[in-house]
Every structure is written in C-alpha cells, then in structure tokens.
Amino acid sequence: MTDPLTIRVSAGTGTGRTTLAAFDAALAAAGVSDFNLVRLSSIVPPGSRVLEVDGREQLRGEHGDVLYCVYAREHAVLPGHEAWAGVAWSLRDDHSGAGLFVEHEGPSREQVSTDLTHSLEDLSATRGGTYQPAGRLVTGITCTTLPVCAVVVATFRRAGWHAGREEAGGGR
C-alpha cells in the first residue's frame, strides 16, 4: 500500500533591504528557503491529505532540491502599505482526497480572502459543484521602512538532482 501524498501548507513573512531579500526571509519563515521552487497550478491529486503546518514541520530536503508547490506571494515597499498572501483548498465530495488549490495576493486581508472564496466557488462550479471548501491560510505584514513580503506555500513533493533522490510529501 502506498502512503498518501501529504501536502503541507505553511506561511511566512519577511523583511529585507530588497524585495528579493524580503521574499527569501518569508520563505525561510515558511520553512522552504533552501529549495528551487517549481510552481504548480490548482489540482490536488486523489489520495492526498492537506495539512496546515508551521515552517519547522515543512517538507525537508537537501540544499538546492526542487520543490513542487503552489504558492502566493505579495510585496509592499512603501511605509504603511500591507502585503497579504493566501492559499485555500477544497476537496471533492466523494472523499477521494482529490481537490483544488487557489492562491491570491493583495494589499488587504479582505481582498485576498474574498478572492480565495470566489475562486474556489468558480473552480468548483466549472467542475459541476462537487467540491467543498476544506481550509485556507492567509498571512500578512505591514511595511514600516524596508520592503516586506508575505508568502503562503503548499508543498507537494521534492526532488534531488541525483537519481533515486525523489521524495513524496509523505516522507520527511
């Protein structure tokens, strides 16, 4: 029997002297800073389970491994401006573990939350309305002086650069 794919969802915020440095700090807080990110679209494979985790509980790997993930990121560079990012997911009614992810970014929690809700509703409607909301994670940060970044990431699988080093989300 195969272990189910465990998709871990974590969030982080960061500050840096550049938007790239702020993004890196946010990735570190989310527990995924030493990976090469490969962005996926919106489909949760059947047999999966989705867990909200702290950055310390994220998928582990070697420095430079590939990380297949869904993520949202937002930056703010002006004092008083906010950066918000969120990922939400729904699962099919048949209890198969199949589902959908959506990700949004914006300048306010309200906008990101509304966009997540509308996208999940529309993606479900496109597929006959057979998906129900199952979770969401939203995070934000306010710029005070230096650039800031908010990130939410859902990790599926990591892969190394050498044969035999691929690991599904079920492992650590």
The pLDDT tens digits for 58-68 are: 999 999 999 99
- Quote the mean pLDDT of the chain: 93
Give the domains, in start order, of the chain with CATH numbers: 5-160 (3.50.20.10)
Residue that wins the pLDDT comparison between 170 and 4: 4
Tell me the mean pLDDT in the region 64-91: 97
What pTM was computed for the model? 0.90
Coil, helix or strand for 59?
Answer: coil
Say what the pLDDT of residue 172 is: 46
Structure tokens at 61: 């790997």
- Residue 98 or 4, more confident: 98
**Pairing verdict, β 48-52 and 5-15:** parallel
Identity of residue 153: V
Q: Exposure of 160 by Cβ count < 10 A (0-12 exposed, 13-18 middle, 19+ buried)?
A: middle
pLDDT at residue 4 in the model: 82
DSSP secondary structure code for residue 70 in this structure: E
- Helices assigned H by DSSP within the chain: 19-30, 109-126
Residue 167 confidence (pLDDT)? 54
Report whether pLDDT(73) > 90: yes
Q: Give mean pLDDT, residues 83-104.
A: 96
Supply φ then ψ for residue 165, to 5 degrees.
-110, 25
Q: How far is CA 63 from the centre of its chain?
A: 19
Residue 1 has what pLDDT?
A: 44
